[in-house]
Structure 1
Amino acid sequence: MKAMSKALSVFLILILAISAAVPAMAADKTALQSDVAGTAAYMYKTVPDPLVGSIGGEWAVIGLARSGYDVPDTYYQNYYATVEAYVKEHSGVLDERKYTEYSRVTVALTAIGRDPANVAGYNLLTPLGDFDKTIWQGINGPIWALIALDSGSYAMPKNTGAKTQATRQMYVDEILSRQLADGGWSLTGKGGSAEAADPDLTGMALQALAKYMSDNDVKTAVDKALTCLSGLQTSSGGFFSWGAASSESVVQVLVGLCELGVSVDDSRFVKNEKTLLDNLLTYRQQDGSFEHTADGSGSNQMATEQGFYGIVAALRAAEGKSSLYRMSDAIKTGGDTSGPKAGEGLAGKNADVRPVPVAYPGKTFSDIAGESAQASRPAIEALAERGIISGKTDTTFDPDATMTRAEFAAMVVRGLGLTPKAGGAFTDVPPSEWYAAYVGTVSSYGIAGGVTAETFAPQSAITREEAAVMLARAAALCGLDTALDGGAVRDVLAQFTDYTASSDWARQALAFCYQEGILPEEDIQIRPKDPAKRSEVAQMLFGMLGDANLL
């Protein structure tokens, strides 16, 4: 009897341990959701009429727009009206010297689905095409120019009045040239100097460089910066800047990690079991506001606005959404609000295309936290949560492996929410194979053809140009306008050194994918015939579904 009782006790203890462990991650996410909602409510109350400005303006708008908090559309419409009036009053000149003004407003407008290229008839992107004036104020200039331009995947604006026409690569190179000997950046430090890194500026630099990790020089610089920041992190999980530990320093590093796809609980950034997020939340007050420093001085509006978008960035990462500054899923405000809601697809989509709901919340893989996959981690997790993409095993994704044409077909069919249906169009696709219905579906909807009239080559690795063609055709099925004339195709592809190596039948699709940010325009080569990596195709599909309003 005692033995049975003891066994029962052990069993109960195991059950309790398991039940306590399973919801831990969900509980953390739930707590963070509550914190974000509380601070959003505080922000909405304390900034009822956002202005054009670094306090009580764009950062409040960005935080609210990216938080998912239920804000009346009139709030954003009123802000846009304020921006229009301000731009008119200043004849389109936000500042003669500080071009970060254009960047900040651009990010805010992008976050609410407005076009910064046409505000009261003025193009607020144009100043960012002037390299010399943009970098005049130091490292902040190129950092925020890249963040702004990439937030909406905007083409580099042509500035006919500029002494030096800017390119994205020039801004990337400018940031890299200012990296300090310790691996970080500072406001005034010169490249290679022994000046100590500032965590705020280093975090911001990472935010700007996050979309350029395919560049080996960028990757090397980012790795060095992460090592630097890990060494600077205090035993309480925070950072010192300008002689004091502050919430703002934590925010910039946290957002930088989220943009890179580095997990908040990455071992490099956990000190005494305290993460960056743990530290940031110690500055949060009961009413939802944030302190600047933990000295009991009370709420600080700048700290609150930064703390707000910091926890929003962390929550978006936890929920598998696009990062704070990757805004293909930005809310739409103003104008006709009777159209499709966020995530419900575009008005012109095929009736068979449906959004795919989250079925496996929190799904991730053990091998996507490393350097090779960190940029695509949010995409991989968002697709895996919906069952659109699967791992090589239940716990591993194998991001650098290739993907077969059959696997890609299955991923696209699932991503569009289409019902698989078999078809006998290809002699090398036996009806008994798991992929037969998926191949039949992409064929019947015109998303993919065969490599010949009779064969599909299901087990061949899909190339980058083949993936682009299938996704462009899928995008058209989703209601996106994929048509580009010959001149537009040439203009987009001419920037790549190997564009002539692409197949004629793939060029329009490639141009569409680069123009829409589905393929990263910062690459200098298309590599059209190279097999696409699993991480690459996940990022491509994620970008297309975001553009199609299906996420």
Structure 2
Amino acid sequence: MKIIKKILSIMLMLSIVISSLLPIYAVQIKEPSVELDKVIENTAKYVLDCAKKLKNDETLGEWTIISLIRAGIEVPEKYYDDYYNNLVKQLEENDGILHKRKYTEYSRAVLTLTALGKDPTNVGGYDLTEKLAEFDNLVWQGINGAVWGLIALDSGNYDVTNTGNIKNVTTRQKLVDHILSKEINGGGWSMGESNPDTDVTAMVLQSLANYVDQEKVKDAVDRGLVVLSNKMNNDGGFESWGNKNSESADQVLVALCKLNIDPKIDDRFVKKNGSWVVSNIIDDFYIPETGGFKHVKEYGIDGMATDQGMYAMVAYSRFLKGQTSLYDMSDVEKKYEEKVLPKKNTEPKIEYKNKFTDIDSSSEKEAIIGLNAKGIVNGFNENTFNPKGYVTRAQLATMLAKALCLEEIEIETFEDVKDSDWFSGYVGAAHQMGIINGYSDKVFKPNNNVTRQDAALMIARTAEILGKNMSMENYEIINIMCQFTDYIKCADWTIESVAACVKYGYIPDDEMEIYPERNATREEIAGMIFRMIEN
């Protein structure tokens, strides 16, 4: 009886242990329909096939380059040389400036150069890491700037603390503390919303992974992981902005790999039906016939989704092979070149005479002078332009008609546009071309001021006439507009045009707000039209 009791006791203990393990091991893990290595191979082939079709003035994108290098894919050296040479040319033409306010441009370039084994402190004589030393400018872009600045600095263990005479120099701890200060109550991060966002939270975890030895960082990371686990859909995927998409899942996968978490066996990231993030990305968004990835299941192949899908697969492949993480490039062989002095752009530039006395401090001085020389815009009077003045609907219609070299057309559509009005023929021409519409069939309101969003709408229509494709998918609109804190103020019928004007540089993106409802100034309109024509 004693022996039987002992046996029963042991069996009871074993049953307790086994039952505690059942939630993990009873799940039948869903294997992806295509093997990981095959996905990487096919996607690499797809992006390289696309590269062969590129025009001479285009190169592989930076995320594509990072993916190919970190996957160990053999690539014609010409593609990498073209990227580097084009980057040097861009710096030379702009006195070392990639962007005046978006410092993620420098972070991305530093990451790519580090992956290439190039020296980001000497790119044609310019030190790109100097920009990462400017803490206030680095975090101006919000948490995005801090996250990618920290990832870039860590990618090659760059030290910028002794860079120049900067009042508030960047340190890694400053960036870590800044990121932690932006955590949402309850865990997770976003671009400013009150609820945590999947993509932003995952990217933050990627940046903080090297600092989990700090208790406050570890606690924040643990809370972030709980947020991501709770956000995981039953199919193993994730969503952002209300849409299930591949990029959100990609960012989560990269974060888990960086944190040394295998999403295939960690029960926080495996659903009861066996779905997990890699099976979701491959089965729902990967296109075996081409090798590319979709943004959402209902759409076709997408460039951004393909880039992120590729580097997420590479991140997991490196994790499984025990290699350094995607952005830890301590394993990259350095190929530094000799230091050279910056070159100046020697291309001849057309100089127009300035007759206006009030535009010297205007950021659109070049545009105003250039458009005036072409007869597209006139002065407020003989010697002044009034750059801060507003633009009426009639004035903008006139400018755009002149930009297209349209002949004046008599118009009888609008009751408030008379033949004797100086602008009537231009309004008629712009209306006939579909650039402008009335408030109703009979009313145009020529003297009403134009808002920035209405100006974007009219300029986008003009660009379409010039042959520019200004149409955009919803996800692309969101990706562009979410960088502005007041994007929700855009009217539904103008948001696509506003996003397109930002995309092509007609509207500068160096401000945190887009101000869609604000009246457009004369200098702003001049700048938008000038860049549209130049583009």
In the superposition, the TM-score normalised over structure 1's length comes to 0.53
Letter paired with 1:248 = E
Specify whether residues 48 and 88 from structure 1 end up closer, same or farther in structure 2 by C-alpha distance, changes over 3 A only.
farther
Q: Which residue of 1 aligns with 2:219?
A: 220
The equivalent position to 1:100 in structure 2, one of 88, 97, 104, is: 104
What's the offset of the Cα at 1:48?
4.5
Q: Which residue of 1 aligns with 2:331?
A: 329
What's the offset of the Cα at 1:164?
1.1
Q: Which residue of 1 aligns with 2:279?
A: 278
Letter paired with 2:144 = N
Q: 2: CA distance between counterparts of 1:269 and 1:224?
A: 14
Q: Which residue of 1 aligns with 2:501?
A: none
Contact residue 44 and residue 68 of structure 2 kept, 8 A: yes
What's the offset of the Cα at 1:75?
2.1
Contact residue 126 and residue 157 of structure 1 kept, 8 A: no
The equivalent position to 1:66 in structure 2, one of 62, 67, 70, is: 70
The answer to whether 1:306 aligns with 2:340 is: no
Deviations 1:495-515 (A, max 9, x none): xxxxxxxxxxxxxxxxxxxxx
Q: Which residue of 1 aligns with 2:466?
A: none
Letter paired with 2:230 = G
Specify whether residues 239 and 323 from structure 1 end up closer, same or farther in structure 2 by C-alpha distance, changes over 3 A only.
same
What's the offset of the Cα at 1:83?
1.2
Contact residue 238 and residue 280 of structure 1 kept, 8 A: yes
Q: Which residue of 1 aligns with 2:495?
A: none
* 1:47 alignment partner, SS class: helix
Q: 2: CA distance between counterparts of 1:116 and 1:237?
A: 38
Q: Which residue of 2 aligns with 1:260?
A: 259
Letter paired with 2:274 = E
What's the offset of the Cα at 1:46?
1.6
Specify whether residues 176 and 54 from structure 1 end up closer, same or farther in structure 2 by C-alpha distance, changes over 3 A only.
farther
* 2:97 alignment partner, SS class: coil
Deviations 1:367-413 (A, max 9, x none): xxxxxxxxxxxxxxxxxxxxxxxxxxxxxxxxxxxxxxxxxxxxxxx
Letter paired with 1:292 = H
Specify whether residues 38 and 283 from structure 1 end up closer, same or farther in structure 2 by C-alpha distance, changes over 3 A only.
same
Contact residue 50 and residue 61 of structure 1 kept, 8 A: no
Q: Which residue of 1 aligns with 2:201?
A: 202
Q: 1: CA distance between counterparts of 2:33 and 2:169?
A: 45
Letter paired with 2:321 = E
Q: Which residue of 2 aligns with 1:290?
A: 293
What's the offset of the Cα at 1:301?
0.5
Q: 2: CA distance between counterparts of 1:199 and 1:180?
A: 12
Q: 1: CA distance between counterparts of 2:259 and 2:63?
A: 21
What's the offset of the Cα at 1:69?
1.1
* 2:35 alignment partner, SS class: helix
Q: 1: CA distance between counterparts of 2:89 and 2:131?
A: 19
What's the offset of the Cα at 1:114?
0.5
Q: Which residue of 2 aligns with 1:112?
A: 116
Contact residue 51 and residue 59 of structure 2 kept, 8 A: no
What's the offset of the Cα at 1:234?
0.5
Deviations 1:423-468 (A, max 9, x none): xxxxxxxxxxxxxxxxxxxxxxxxxxxxxxxxxxxxxxxxxxxxxx
Where structure 2 has 5 or more consecutive residues not aligned to the other structure, the ranges are: 1-27, 339-535
In the superposition, the TM-score normalised over structure 2's length comes to 0.54
Deviations 1:490-547 (A, max 9, x none): xxxxxxxxxxxxxxxxxxxxxxxxxxxxxxxxxxxxxxxxxxxxxxxxxxxxxxxxxx
Deviations 1:309-364 (A, max 9, x none): 1111011111111110010112556979xxxxxxxxxxxxxxxxxxxxxxxxxxxx
Deviations 1:285-309 (A, max 9, x none): 12110000111x2001011111111
Q: 2: CA distance between counterparts of 1:36 and 1:292?
A: 17
* Runs of 4 or more consecutive aligned structure 1 residues displaced over 4 Å after TM superposition: 27-30, 48-51, 53-56, 331-336
Q: Which residue of 2 aligns with 1:153?
A: 157
* 1:71 alignment partner, SS class: coil
Q: What are the equivalent positions in structure 2 for 1:458-477 lying under 5 Å apart? A: none
Specify whether residues 198 and 55 from structure 1 end up closer, same or farther in structure 2 by C-alpha distance, changes over 3 A only.
farther
Q: 1: CA distance between counterparts of 2:61 and 2:172?
A: 27
The answer to whether 1:40 aligns with 2:44 is: yes
Letter paired with 2:268 = R
Specify whether residues 302 and 108 from structure 1 end up closer, same or farther in structure 2 by C-alpha distance, changes over 3 A only.
same
Contact residue 107 and residue 152 of structure 2 kept, 8 A: yes
Deviations 1:202-233 (A, max 9, x none): 01001100111111111010001001110010
Q: What are the equivalent positions in structure 2 for 1:142-181 lying under 5 Å apart? A: 142-181=146-185
Letter paired with 1:294 = K
Q: 2: CA distance between counterparts of 1:181 and 1:215?
A: 20
Q: 1: CA distance between counterparts of 2:59 and 2:177?
A: 30
Q: Which residue of 2 aligns with 1:393?
A: none
Q: Which residue of 1 aligns with 2:508?
A: none
Q: 1: CA distance between counterparts of 2:52 and 2:203?
A: 28
Q: 1: CA distance between counterparts of 2:331 and 2:53?
A: 24
Q: Which residue of 2 aligns with 1:81?
A: 85
* 1:324 alignment partner, SS class: coil
Contact residue 50 and residue 58 of structure 1 kept, 8 A: no
* 1:217 alignment partner, SS class: helix
RMSD after superposition: 2.6
Contact residue 139 and residue 175 of structure 1 kept, 8 A: yes
What's the offset of the Cα at 1:264?
2.1
Specify whether residues 69 and 264 from structure 1 end up closer, same or farther in structure 2 by C-alpha distance, changes over 3 A only.
same
Contact residue 237 and residue 244 of structure 2 kept, 8 A: yes
Q: What are the equivalent positions in structure 2 for 1:341-352 lying under 5 Å apart? A: none
Q: Which residue of 2 aligns with 1:269?
A: 269
Specify whether residues 322 and 92 from structure 1 end up closer, same or farther in structure 2 by C-alpha distance, changes over 3 A only.
same
Q: 1: CA distance between counterparts of 2:170 and 2:337?
A: 33
Q: Which residue of 2 aligns with 1:465?
A: none
Specify whether residues 30 and 125 from structure 1 end up closer, same or farther in structure 2 by C-alpha distance, changes over 3 A only.
same
Contact residue 142 and residue 174 of structure 1 kept, 8 A: yes
Specify whether residues 39 and 97 from structure 1 end up closer, same or farther in structure 2 by C-alpha distance, changes over 3 A only.
same
Where structure 1 has 5 or more consecutive residues not aligned to the other structure, the ranges are: 1-23, 190-194, 337-551
The answer to whether 1:91 aligns with 2:90 is: no
Specify whether residues 245 and 331 from structure 1 end up closer, same or farther in structure 2 by C-alpha distance, changes over 3 A only.
farther
Q: 2: CA distance between counterparts of 1:117 and 1:249?
A: 32
Q: Which residue of 1 aligns with 2:14?
A: none
Deviations 1:93-141 (A, max 9, x none): 1111000000000000101101100001000000111111100010001
Q: Whose radius of gyration is greater, 1 or 2?
A: 2
What's the offset of the Cα at 1:275?
1.2
Q: 2: CA distance between counterparts of 1:315 and 1:69?
A: 13
Q: Which residue of 2 aligns with 1:462?
A: none
Q: 1: CA distance between counterparts of 2:243 and 2:132?
A: 33
Q: 1: CA distance between counterparts of 2:244 and 2:66?
A: 25
What's the offset of the Cα at 1:161?
4.7
